[in-house]
């Protein structure tokens, strides 16, 4: 039997946010956030070896909104498998602002690049 994992680790700078305020806010979040999240000085560290990338991205977006932080955060994730099975590896990324989360993944990138460059269909 194989196990699939989604892994990520992102540090989000939280300038001018007192660590105590960030800790209190994190403590008030739902326990089911799909990842580890904690304060690291004036930063929010979101990570997991087997987490929910969507829940983590939503948490980051809520933090940016709550503390009125402009700018975007790059959030990357990797999909892996405990066995070397074709099609079980990949990943993607999100661009997160306090208003929206924009997603992309490896399959979208490959298909978009193929079409843009007028390449033949992928055969595997």
Would you write out the chain's pLDDT as a tens digit for each of its 124 residues? 889 999 999 999 999 999 999 999 999 987 778 899 999 888 999 999 999 999 999 999 999 999 999 999 999 999 999 999 998 999 999 999 999 999 999 999 999 999 999 999 999 8
- Asked, for residue 69, whether it belongs to a domain, the answer is yes
Cα-only R_g, the chain: 17
Structural domain boundaries enclosing 42: 4-116
- Asked, for residue 51, whether it belongs to a domain, the answer is yes
Query: What is the count of structural domains for the chain?
Result: 1
pLDDT at 108: 93
pLDDT at 36: 93
Let me know the angle formed at the C-alpha of 71 by 74 and 29, rounded to the nearest 5 degrees: 75
- Asked, for residue 49, whether it belongs to a domain, the answer is yes
pLDDT at 33: 82
**pTM of the predicted structure, to 2 decimals:** 0.90
User: Which residues have CB under 8 Å from 75's CB, separation 6+?
Assistant: 8, 10, 46, 53, 56, 57, 60, 93, 94, 95, 96
- Asked, for residue 121, whether it belongs to a domain, the answer is no
- Asked, for residue 122, whether it belongs to a domain, the answer is no
CA nearest neighbour of 49 among 12, 83, 3: 3
């Amino acid at each position: 039997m194989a196990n699939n994992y989604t892994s990520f680790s992102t540090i989000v700078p939280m300038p001018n946010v007192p660590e105590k305020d960030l800790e209190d806010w994190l403590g008030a979040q739902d326990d089911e956030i799909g990842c580890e999240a904690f304060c690291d000085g004036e930063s929010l560290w979101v990570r997991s070896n087997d987490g929910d990338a969507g829940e983590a991205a939503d948490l980051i977006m809520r933090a940016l909104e709550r503390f009125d932080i402009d700018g975007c955060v790059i959030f990357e994730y990797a999909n892996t498998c405990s066995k070397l099975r074709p099609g079980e590896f990949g990943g993607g990324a999100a661009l997160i602002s306090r208003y929206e989360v924009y997603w992309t993944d490896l399959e979208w990138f490959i298909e978009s690049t193929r079409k843009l460059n007028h390449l033949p269909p992928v055969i595997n």
